[in-house]
Structure 1
Amino acid sequence: MSNKSKSFLALSCVGFIASAPVAVAAPAGGADAPEADGDAVRHSDVVVTGERERRDANPKFIAPPVDTPRSIVVLPAETIEQTGSATLADALRTVPGITFGAAEGGNPIGDRPFIRGFDSQGSTYVDGVRDFASQSREVFAVDSIQIIRGSDTTLGGRGNAGGTINIISKTPQKESFARATASYGTADYKRFTADVNQRVSDMIAVRVEGMFHDQDVAGRDAIWQRRWGVAPSITIGVDSPTRLTIGYYHMHSNELPDSGIPYLYTIGNVPRTGYVLSEPAIGHVTTANGQSGYVDRSTFYGLKDRDFRDTDIDQATIRAEHDFGGITLRNTSRFTHNWQAYIFLLPDDSQGNVYNTGQVWRRANTRYGYADSIVNQTDLFGKFDTGAIKHSFAIGAELAWEKARRGAFVTRGFVNSSGSELLSTGGTISPRCNPTTVSRYYCTSIFNPNPNDPWVNYASDTSTTPAPISRTQPIAETQNDANTIGIYGFDSITLAEPLILNLGLRYDRFHSRVRPGQPLTATQAIQFERTDELFNWQAGLVFKPTHNTSLYASYATAATPPNSLLGEGSEGNALPTTTAAASVLDALKPEKTKSYEVGAKADLLGGRLSLSAAAFQTDTDNARVTGDDNTVQFIGKRRIRGVELSVNGTILPGWTIFGGYTHLDPKIVDGGFSSLSVAANGPAKATTVLVPSVNNGKQAPQTAKDSVSLWTNVTLFSRLQIGGGVFYFSRVFGGYADNRSASQDTSGNITVKPATTVLARSVPGYTRFDARLGYDITERVNLSVNVQNLTDKTYFSQAYASHYATIAPGRSAFATLSVRY
């Protein structure tokens, strides 16, 4: 059966349930359940407080947001829907202060959000349980998204330096309802979703969500995306003290992945001195050899005959809970299996091909692998009093087993000098782009690439014998395993009517092991492992001038142990992968982070409008860098300072708003040292010399200093809705380089020549506008039109450290018909 047939079959099952008799009654609760009044369903005022949001989302949230001494943003379902977001990345781009990193440095393709300047790829949770594997997440089964900013190991466990993302799933509700949407638009955009909740008895409720999505990418040649998913769940014991919820989530996707546009310069061919910005080579470009031309935003350097990405996500959850009066005991068990395989283009400029010759090397990044996890989490939470002092508490324990295994796609039988298998893309040829490699389509023109080029995989870069593409041998695959034991506790203590003390403690024992892939000539596998014990805490004091306002100050810590991401992200502190590097194993240290924050919050208009402001500083120590003796040392430091303003809720009946402003001062305080090669000179042998890193004092990569996000929606004349958004991000840097060099005389006296050029790879800032128009055809039928990137702005959404930047889609429009019962 084809994948498309399977997807339509999944939606047919949802449609069958939807066609069953459904009681048109107003649900008693649930932020994602429709109400009896159709207008209220589609344009309900956003209530920003509430017990359900806190307890169902994450039992560790022991107080309402206004009483919590840290910055928390809740992205509601209404905003996700109104903005036309289909993926987690789409949704998070409506939140100021979040930028996205590219797949680089061994980092696989997947969601890679940066919060407050820190990579939070490994800090994503589903209903309060860690979801560690690299993946591109959908929103069809998402109720809302919580973004908790600041050092957060106490709340979630290892590695939360800048903040965490908690995805809240749609679960069975008390009342029956059904909803379906169908969207069609430019770039052959097609999307269908269904959400059916059925109360089948006094004790049982069932809910099923389904999705099919198929589109090209606006403004980009050749790129397409296709996926389908289904998420059934059942709750036994609805409205009773004892409840059991069983849920399953599956999503399958296929796509032609897009990496973007290469940077124009490398440090070796910059045509001028001083501080130089190397931006993507787009628009009018003139190369060093005199070629001139225009690189359009649609230009795609990949190959249809080679590039692909396939993924599968399967997740099964069992949650049992029982209420003991004001205290609840909950146990959650989850099994997750994530699989992905891809070959995607990385338009490489490492040898200066783009500016020197007007050629782009079609380097192939390849990967296949899976990530499995079994997590059991027990939480006891509720309220009690000790005399006049009130407590809202949560205590719990987490047991987790995680495994990730990966390999690469290769030409079976071709082994290079190091004993490794390769894919034939010209990687062994120098110079990389010459008439031979161009004739094999390993390189292409920066101005006129053809994604339909008939690329052929040969037995080697110089062979004329075609060869199949296959997976590496098992001995060449890398496997990571980890076990976690975590114990935590939180207490929100009302000392007196205006004062609340918020405390949290967590202990983790994290044991990980890596079995690195070995050359085919190896006779046995090797492995390295270590255990880290992490103790983190948070403390905050809240002063409440009124019941709905608060002032607070807080302190929190975080720790990122070695091998924290298990190869499913960019590891700043990975375990060694060779016996030669094994000496560093015992010297490894967890990266430590401290956050200081002060702020103010207010819930206005009866809790329907939330305002907040925060100022903070986050300091990271123990970052792994090269020391002045050319050894690994843990002296790296980073400092992020900033302010955040947020607004969320209803200004007037029918007028909602979501957004804010973030200003960051992200600085690399100490990036360690860099090694310069020193050539031999007579009796003086070749050597190296260490110089301070070019990164010292620079703006932290992947982080915008200023960002603004504002989305608003207004209902006019009861049936007409007008919405729109503005999103601004300032310049983002990918990485830095300079042209310092070193030489020596015959006596071995070394001279370091200062840099005349500092190259900063970056993407310029941008402002994007979106718009929406909706109309209620009947109380239960709505037709809306979304226009994204209204002005067709050319901008870049991700900045790679050295090779390329990801270009964002052009203007697109799609209409959506929504039906509710």
Structure 2
Amino acid sequence: MSDLIRRCVAPLSVAGTLFALSHANASDTIGAAEREDVPADKLYDRKNQKTPTPGRNFESGDVENLTVKGHGFNTMHQNLGLSRMPQDVLHTAQTIDVVPQELMRQQNVKSLDEALRNVPGVTSSIGEGAGGMNGDQFLIRGFQAQNDIYEDGLRDFGVYSRDSFNLETVSVIKGPSSEVFGNGTTGGAINMITKSPTLANRYAAEFSGGSGSYYRGTLDVNQKINDSTAFQLSGMGDEHNVVGRDYIYSHRWGVAPSIAFGLGKRATLVLQYMHQSENSIPDFGVPVVTKPGAAYGQPITAYGIRRTNFYGTSNDQNATNDNMETARFTYKLNDHITFYDDLRGGQYYRTFAASKATCDTTCVDNYFDGNAASALVARSGPNGAGNGAGAGTYMAPLPYQQQSWSVQNVASMVANFRTGFLKHQLVAGFDLERVSDRREQSTYLKAKPYASLVNPNPYVGNLDLVSGDSNPGGLVNLGGIGAKANSNGYGFDTGLFLFDQIWFTDWLSLKGGFRWDRWQTTYNVTGGDVSKYPDKHFHDVSGVFNPNVSLIATPDSHQTYYFTWASSTTPMGMYVTNGSVPIRPGTNSFASPEKAQLYEVGAKYSLFHDRMGFTASLFRLDKGNALNADPVTGQIESSSDRQRNQGLELSAGGVILPGWNVTATYALYDSDTTSSATAANRGKNVQYVPHNQATFWTAYNAFSNKPYNFMVGGGVTWRQHVWLNAANTVRAPANLDFSAVISHRFNEHWKISMNGYNLANHLNYQSLFSNRVTPSAGRMFLGELSMVY
């Protein structure tokens, strides 16, 4: 860590110098009334500006409001949308990356995955095994976050690809945050703020079309009903192929109505519903192979195989139907105390079938020996034998049907008060959640045939899909559990949290607190050949305690400095909906939970009349008893490994000159496995963690008041190569993506634009796994016509 600090002192010093110069310049250009600084605690304890309501939209003159100066690309004053984190980004003692609405509009972002490409340290991963994970599966700072996706502060348990049609902003709260979110959040948490009714009427529609037979339409209506009631409706239809990938397509639609009562009143109730359906082909990518004599393995596409090759079959499918109903209630008791209660139910349905391509030693030798015609890829079990022969020795993805439901209620109180000369902001509450999952495995009576490595053909005919109970010989052995046709389970969490921020002076405060959770989980496997593999039932109960503490200095309302120590816990059984075997017997059953600790120092600035925001942070993240994905089965398993990721993160965003906005981020990571029972893994980089990563985007509006106005912008995202396994013997090459936009407004209502993506047509890799990667889309262009009234 000392070496890292020495390497990072210079950037932090530059940031400090930049603040000093810019603060002086700002003071020279503003009037005396504007120059008066407001202590940080006064942002939340003053009579004329009340405590902001997280995640709620209010109009000017409402009882609860927060006036923010600045520009949309300066996210320092961004509300996080969680009652448990009531302060803005500037005054929260943790690294937080926000993807603002204006950035998503300029980039024509269409999914959560696309939005998160603006955040360093976030990568996509895919899973497999009998459960076949897919959908949004993210890693934050190299650590699993598939169970750490939130919408308006409530957990989204579904396994699906989230569209952006109903999103206002996306935030990534980095580092362990179990005291706020509960179990999980080793690398951090992703929180989406959805569109919510306001008292301003708005009618908008957009239509996009372009490369890859891309067709997309969205609708956004906000209607004021009376002085305190409003209705909002978002809708989406999307149909597209993937440029640079054969046979891959996605058809989806969604609708999200909501109504708000009591806007501007003491009591506010927002009712929301979201439905999204998708029918698509899952893309398990291309194999990663090691060329004879090479020091490390790479994707087969690095050796001349076309990026377009799809090794799945015509039997593959991913059909999802997802529903969420949410009620968010706020009651302002007085100027000092506000109560919140957020309730959500979710129902998720999925039919899934995918093919895993494996290029074994014979396949590799044939290809590199010049006998490409004999290089054959197994799309299933050993020797291409499907799910019959060799079952139980090689985990091929089995088709399955999944039904899940969840309910969560978070009640909290935010209180601002004094004890003598000390000022407090107290947050306390409870969190109850239950998630249940049921899966029915299917099998094929016919084996999947080989695929040509060079020219694969997905049309393999009818493979005779049947239920697992009618073909127990085709089920795979889940290792210690047996070959079972059906599984079901649930997780139930009871959480209590309490933390208090105490101001000793106007500029110095200490924040500390804890969360206690009781996690109860059950997993049952039934069916199949019960004479050979009896039904099994597993149950576990664990209690965890996660404290945190932060020392915060806010010399004025433009700057914050902090030191934070935080912890998180991830017990076995957390992956109820997105892991096929949440509890395993033997060495992995009821194992000690994964523990993580964060040490972070940072600085945040909002300068030039809040036109620009800057952040800098140094962190160390230690993880013990790491949960890893088995390289063959894809199952999440506990281990005795200890891993560390430490580094520097920088960001800047805002408006440089009128009409010219910019956002930029950079991350330097130094990761390694500090201890492991596997000698070959010790001292190696943590898989999926790049050493360097950066993003940049800028756009300029020219002649904004003229008929010949236009906006032009562009940017780049770059990620250094990443290792795909713990032993660092296979890796994915660096990603480099150039994008651009140009647009023209006909008047205040109509606009036309054109976006270009991956303009260099670079071979990038989006989803990563230890033995395969998925190529990203190639060069594509997307035109859009939009209307706003």
Fold shared by both chains (TM-score > 0.5): yes
Larger-gyration structure (1/2): 1
Q: Per the alignment, in what secondary structure is the counterpart of residue 102 of structure 2?
A: helix
Q: Per the alignment, in what secondary structure is the counterpart of residue 721 of structure 1?
A: strand
Matched letter for residue 613 of structure 1 = A
What residue number does 2:446 align with?
Answer: 424
Q: Does 1:271 align with 2:292?
A: yes
Unaligned residue ranges in structure 2 (runs of 5+) = 1-53, 61-69, 367-373, 381-395, 468-473, 475-481, 630-636
Q: Does 1:450 align with 2:457?
A: yes
Q: 1:30 to 1:713 in 2, by over 3 A?
A: farther
- Give CA deviations for 1:228-279 in whole Å, capped at 9, x if unaligned: 00000011112111111111000000112222211233xxxx522xx72211
Q: How does 1:715-734 map to 2 (within 5 A)?
A: 715-718=701-704, 719-734=709-724
- Give CA deviations for 1:463-505 in whole Å, capped at 9, x if unaligned: xxxx9xxxxx997211121111101122222210221212231
Number of residue pairs matched by the alignment:
677
In the alignment, which of 669, 687, 693 is matched to residue 701 of structure 1? 687
- Give CA deviations for 1:730-753 in whole Å, capped at 9, x if unaligned: 11121256xxxxxxxxxxxxxxxx
**How many Å apart are 1:546 and its aligned residue?**
3.2
Matched letter for residue 348 of structure 2 = N
**How many Å apart are 1:670 and its aligned residue?**
2.0
Q: Does 1:76 align with 2:97?
A: no
Q: Does 1:714 align with 2:700?
A: yes
Once residues 143 and 372 of structure 1 are traced to their aligned partners in structure 2, the CA distance between those partners, rounded to angstroms, is: 25
What residue number does 2:429 align with?
Answer: 396
What residue number does 2:15 align with?
Answer: none
Once residues 589 and 736 of structure 1 are traced to their aligned partners in structure 2, the CA distance between those partners, rounded to angstroms, is: 21
Bigger drift between 523-532 and 184-193 goes to 523-532
Once residues 231 and 34 of structure 1 are traced to their aligned partners in structure 2, the CA distance between those partners, rounded to angstroms, is: 22
Q: Is the 8 A contact 2:600 2:617 kept in 1?
A: yes
**How many Å apart are 1:396 and its aligned residue?**
1.1
**How many Å apart are 1:126 and its aligned residue?**
0.9
Q: Does 1:556 align with 2:566?
A: yes
Once residues 815 and 190 of structure 1 are traced to their aligned partners in structure 2, the CA distance between those partners, rounded to angstroms, is: 10
What residue number does 1:375 align with?
Answer: 408
Unaligned residue ranges in structure 1 (runs of 5+) = 1-28, 36-42, 286-293, 412-422, 427-441, 461-466, 468-472, 627-631, 674-691, 738-758
**How many Å apart are 1:634 and its aligned residue?**
5.6
Q: Is the 8 A contact 2:175 2:188 kept in 1?
A: yes
Q: Per the alignment, in what secondary structure is the counterpart of residue 516 of structure 1?
A: strand
**How many Å apart are 1:698 and its aligned residue?**
1.4
**How many Å apart are 1:524 and its aligned residue?**
5.9
Once residues 564 and 350 of structure 1 are traced to their aligned partners in structure 2, the CA distance between those partners, rounded to angstroms, is: 33
Q: How does 1:455-470 map to 2 (within 5 A)?
A: 456-457=463-464
What residue number does 1:592 align with?
Answer: 595
What residue number does 2:390 align with?
Answer: none
Once residues 585 and 163 of structure 1 are traced to their aligned partners in structure 2, the CA distance between those partners, rounded to angstroms, is: 25
TM-score normalised to the size of structure 2? Answer: 0.81
Once residues 297 and 721 of structure 2 are traced to their aligned partners in structure 1, the CA distance between those partners, rounded to angstroms, is: 12
Once residues 479 and 761 of structure 1 are traced to their aligned partners in structure 2, the CA distance between those partners, rounded to angstroms, is: 35
In the alignment, which of 281, 287, 304 is matched to residue 256 of structure 1? 281
Matched letter for residue 660 of structure 1 = T
Q: 1:63 to 1:780 in 2, by over 3 A?
A: same
Q: Does 1:312 align with 2:302?
A: no
4+ runs deviating over 6 angstroms: 29-35
- Give CA deviations for 1:522-549 in whole Å, capped at 9, x if unaligned: 4963211111111101111112233311
Q: Does 1:648 align with 2:648?
A: no
Q: How does 1:481-520 map to 2 (within 5 A)?
A: 481-520=490-529
- Give CA deviations for 1:147-190 in whole Å, capped at 9, x if unaligned: 10111111100011111011111111111111110001111111
Q: How does 1:763-774 map to 2 (within 5 A)?
A: 763-774=732-743
Q: Does 1:787 align with 2:756?
A: yes
- Give CA deviations for 1:126-154 in whole Å, capped at 9, x if unaligned: 11111223221111001111110111111
Q: Does 1:233 align with 2:258?
A: yes
What residue number does 1:361 align with?
Answer: 378
**How many Å apart are 1:115 and its aligned residue?**
1.0
Q: Is the 8 A contact 2:245 2:307 kept in 1?
A: yes
Once residues 565 and 525 of structure 2 are traced to their aligned partners in structure 1, the CA distance between those partners, rounded to angstroms, is: 38
What residue number does 2:87 align with?
Answer: 63
Q: Does 1:566 align with 2:585?
A: no
**How many Å apart are 1:659 and its aligned residue?**
2.8
- Give CA deviations for 1:395-428 in whole Å, capped at 9, x if unaligned: 11111111112232214xxxxxxxxxxx5335xx
Q: RMSD across aligned C-alpha pairs, in angstroms? A: 2.7
**How many Å apart are 1:570 and its aligned residue?**
8.1
Once residues 474 and 260 of structure 1 are traced to their aligned partners in structure 2, the CA distance between those partners, rounded to angstroms, is: 27
Q: How does 1:603-618 map to 2 (within 5 A)?
A: 603-618=606-621
What residue number does 1:123 align with?
Answer: 148
Once residues 119 and 801 of structure 1 are traced to their aligned partners in structure 2, the CA distance between those partners, rounded to angstroms, is: 14
Q: Per the alignment, in what secondary structure is the counterpart of residue 65 of structure 1?
A: coil
- Give CA deviations for 1:604-650 in whole Å, capped at 9, x if unaligned: 12223210000010111133699xxxxx9963200111110011222
Matched letter for residue 753 of structure 2 = S
What residue number does 2:746 align with?
Answer: 777
What residue number does 1:660 align with?
Answer: 665
Once residues 361 and 262 of structure 2 are traced to their aligned partners in structure 1, the CA distance between those partners, rounded to angstroms, is: 64
Bigger drift between 492-501 and 167-176 goes to 492-501
Q: 1:332 to 1:45 in 2, by over 3 A?
A: closer
Q: Is the 8 A contact 2:76 2:605 kept in 1?
A: no
Once residues 34 and 806 of structure 1 are traced to their aligned partners in structure 2, the CA distance between those partners, rounded to angstroms, is: 45
**How many Å apart are 1:352 and its aligned residue?**
4.4
**How many Å apart are 1:118 and its aligned residue?**
0.9
TM-score normalised to the size of structure 1? Answer: 0.78
Q: Is the 8 A contact 1:44 1:654 kept in 2?
A: no
Q: Per the alignment, in what secondary structure is the counterpart of residue 105 of structure 2?
A: helix
Once residues 507 and 203 of structure 2 are traced to their aligned partners in structure 1, the CA distance between those partners, rounded to angstroms, is: 44
**How many Å apart are 1:367 and its aligned residue?**
3.0
Q: Is the 8 A contact 2:443 2:465 kept in 1?
A: no
Once residues 588 and 703 of structure 2 are traced to their aligned partners in structure 1, the CA distance between those partners, rounded to angstroms, is: 68
Matched letter for residue 297 of structure 2 = S
Bigger drift between 60-69 and 636-645 goes to 60-69
Once residues 400 and 733 of structure 2 are traced to their aligned partners in structure 1, the CA distance between those partners, rounded to angstroms, is: 30
Matched letter for residue 71 of structure 1 = T
- Give CA deviations for 1:628-686 in whole Å, capped at 9, x if unaligned: xxxx996320011111001122222222222300111121122323xxxxxxxxxxxxx
Bigger drift between 716-725 and 595-604 goes to 716-725
Q: Is the 8 A contact 2:515 2:545 kept in 1?
A: yes
Once residues 495 and 49 of structure 1 are traced to their aligned partners in structure 2, the CA distance between those partners, rounded to angstroms, is: 23
Once residues 241 and 309 of structure 1 are traced to their aligned partners in structure 2, the CA distance between those partners, rounded to angstroms, is: 45
Q: Is the 8 A contact 2:687 2:725 kept in 1?
A: yes
Q: Is the 8 A contact 1:404 1:568 kept in 2?
A: no
Once residues 762 and 274 of structure 2 are traced to their aligned partners in structure 1, the CA distance between those partners, rounded to angstroms, is: 36
Q: 1:132 to 1:500 in 2, by over 3 A?
A: same
Once residues 763 and 318 of structure 2 are traced to their aligned partners in structure 1, the CA distance between those partners, rounded to angstroms, is: 25
Once residues 116 and 415 of structure 2 are traced to their aligned partners in structure 1, the CA distance between those partners, rounded to angstroms, is: 31
Q: Is the 8 A contact 2:743 2:754 kept in 1?
A: yes
Once residues 508 and 815 of structure 1 are traced to their aligned partners in structure 2, the CA distance between those partners, rounded to angstroms, is: 49
- Give CA deviations for 1:169-219 in whole Å, capped at 9, x if unaligned: 111111111111000111111110011000112232100000000011111
Q: How does 1:285-364 map to 2 (within 5 A)?
A: 285=303, 294-304=304-314, 306-326=315-335, 327-350=337-360, 352-356=362-366, 357-363=374-380
Name the % identity: 29
Q: Is the 8 A contact 1:69 1:542 kept in 2?
A: yes
